[in-house]
Amino acid sequence: MSTLVPAAGWVGSFLGVAASLALAWTGFRAQYKPGALRRNQLVVPVWCMVAGAALSMLALEIALLTDNFAVSYVAETHSRDTSWLFTITTAWSALGGSIVLWALVLAGYTAVVLRGVRTTDDRLGVGALGVMGIVAAFFFGLVTTVANPFRILINPPPNGPGPNPLLQENILVAFHPPMLYLGFVGFTVPFAFAMSALLIRQGGIDWLRRTRRANLVAWSFLTGATFLGAWWAYEVLGWGGYWAWDPVENAALLPWLTGTAFIHSAAVQIKRGMLQAWNFVLVLATFALTILGTFLTRSGVVSSVHSFTESGVGPAFLGLLLVVLVAGFGLFAARGERLASLSRPESLASREGAFLVNNLLLSLFAFVVLTGTVYPIVVEALTGNQVSVGRPFFDRMAVPLGFGLLLAMGVGPILPYRHAAPGVVWQRLRYPLVVASLTAAVLVAAGARSPGLVAVVFLATVIVGSTLRQLAVSMPQRSLPGFLRLVRGQRAYWGGQLAHLGVAGVVVVIAVTGAFGERSTVTLQRGEATEFAGYQVTFEATQEYSAPNREVTEPRISFRDDGTVAHVATPRVSSFRNQEQAVGTPSVWSGPTQDVYVSLADLQPDQVTLNLYRYPLMVWMWVAGAVMAAGGLWALGFGRRRSQGSDGRHAERSDEVVSRA
């Protein structure tokens, strides 16, 4: 049994390699000889890919759950003391297993693409399958070589070190990595269709319509994963924040920025026939940035809490990145004369003009983040000197770009296509502007002295107000059935507006917590109290106890309001068996109006040093992130599958109805 399970993993990974190469060969043959092959010659390799990936993942999970330490991955990442939940999540919590999961997700997306390829006469579709076969062969190849988790140990240890302690402290490890992979890998689909369209010199909107669902799925999952990752960091790392412009955090943000720009730009091309070349650039850049992000995470070139151990996959991913850049943009340059859009925006004061400005700002934002992330790596590689680009740089550049994006989101959706007369713009914006001005005035009267906070609240109120105004004038009747008919019939538009409302909520929370947050570091003897955020904070006692896989030391910190205990915080230090370093975990007291966050700076038998934080409205950050992801899923829709291309036409008609309102 100890060798049967890894043998099954080997079989699955080699089957995946063979099936991927067969799909690539068959897909490109069918593209250049339409109708010469049967569709079954595509079906068999795709489902062999799925079977191979599923078999590899199943073998890995069985090896972990049965404590099979003869398998190298289990011996390096698992422990008999690890709970069943974190044993399952260990399958993607280290290098080899994460590549297996990547291959499994990619095989699933490939199977979905296959459903839309009804015949081998579909040159665009079969070419996309061929490109996905090449990408899949790379990842399956990693599983069989430098990232192989199924190596058999001749002298297996009786136990292992267990997962990284930080990966055993919160249930979000079960959701954040898989969602991140669903986002990253999903952008392979539009990349594959874009490359296929370039290969056969086919411009137009067919490839955009056929990848619309995949774009929205990938964007929604990447959005959700980014916020889950921020929440995870906030709940586990103990430094009191949720986003530190960590290089690997930035690596996830980069494809999100360009992917967001691509979704907006694709809508303009489908509706108005503009920005065709821009769409090819954006989708190629988005896929390249997913590979760059994977390289940063798994190569060890950056020091990060997210990074896996340095290994041979770094050069492999760097090679793939260079191939994607050279092949993708080289092919784009060779076909460039056929890709120029025949029409241009008539005016920046139009829906398409606002989308163009929005895309330029998103692209500039991505360039800034890319520069700040990659610059230290390049300098160290060339000179050997270590330099850092810190948070002040990113904050200084992100703030003005963020204001510009908020302005574009507030104004763009209410503008008509082609040209917006000043009177029409004023008619659609006057009430949102009045409400936003009153809100900003109330905020100043209440004591807000930060110009940035007032400006953010003003712009966010414009976004909310313009959305509600459009909703009011577009509803056929003021009733719940009328509302449901509207938002169901115009999913593309109202899904986008829902996502915009989520963005508005996120930036308001960021501004409020930055302006009104409190922080204090205190040292308390047992029984001693101090004041913080209107509470009397007392170090009551310290308790120690044993858990199945750790020893825990936990001080009890009481928060009293007018003598009544309102909350007892229990930040802790956990010493995991088979792990040398103890891990601290903060205590977070979340409510609808504020979070009180307590982390340990030092713990002695009768003395504790605490970092105390108070963040107003913090819980609404996670709610707003969920609203953003829900907007993408709503635009996707879950109803009856329409015929090919009808989603795009329906979105066009719906958008025109709203534009006239």
DSSP 19-75: HHHHHHHHHHHHHHSTTSS-THHHHHHHHHHHHHHHHHHHHHHHHHHTT-TTBHHHH
H/E stretch holding 643: none
Higher pLDDT, 307 or 492: 492
Q: What's the mean per-residue pLDDT of the chain?
A: 88
Higher pLDDT, 427 or 587: 587
Average pLDDT over residues 353-370: 91
Q: Which of 130-139, 191-200, 271-280 has the lowest mean pLDDT?
A: 271-280
pTM assigned to the model? 0.92
Average pLDDT over residues 44-67: 96
Average pLDDT over residues 125-132: 96
Would you identify the CATH topology of the domain 1-168?
Four Helix Bundle (Hemerythrin (Met), subunit A) (1.20.120)
Q: Which of 67-76, 294-303, 357-366, 433-442 has the lowest mean pLDDT?
A: 294-303
Whether residue 195 contacts residue 127, with contact meaning beta carbons closer than 8 Å, is answered with yes
H/E stretch holding 453: helix 451-474
Average pLDDT over residues 132-150: 95
- pLDDT reading at 632 higher than 90: yes
Task: Find the length of the chain.
Answer: 661
pLDDT at 652: 40
Q: What is the C-alpha to C-alpha distance for residues 551 and 184, in angstroms, rounded to an integer?
A: 37
pLDDT at 33: 84
Tell me which residue of 512, 540, 514 sits closest to 525, measured CA to CA: 540
Whether residue 607 contacts residue 615, with contact meaning beta carbons closer than 8 Å, is answered with no
Give residues with Cβ within 8 angstroms of 460, minimum separation 6. 406, 504, 505, 507, 508
- pLDDT reading at 206 higher than 80: yes
- pLDDT reading at 482 higher than 70: yes
Higher pLDDT, 537 or 343: 537
Q: What is the C-alpha to C-alpha distance for residues 540 and 567, in angstroms, rounded to an integer?
A: 12
Whether residue 571 contacts residue 554, with contact meaning beta carbons closer than 8 Å, is answered with yes
Angle, in degrees to the nearest 10, between helices 276-299 and 351-383: 30
pLDDT band at 386 (very low <50, low <70, confident <90, very high): confident
SS3 of 187-198: the string is CHHHHHHHHHHH
Tens digit of each residue's pLDDT (9 = 90 or more) over 455-476: 999 999 999 998 988 888 888 7
pLDDT at 1: 55
Q: What is the C-alpha to C-alpha distance for residues 601 and 605, in angstroms, rounded to an integer?
A: 14
Higher pLDDT, 358 or 656: 358
Instruction: Return the number of other C-beta atoms located less than 10 Å from residue 542's C-beta.
Output: 16
> Which residues of the chain does CATH 1.20.120 include?
1-168
pLDDT at 586: 95
- pLDDT reading at 329 higher than 60: yes
Instruction: Return the number of other C-beta atoms located less than 10 Å from residue 170's C-beta.
Output: 18
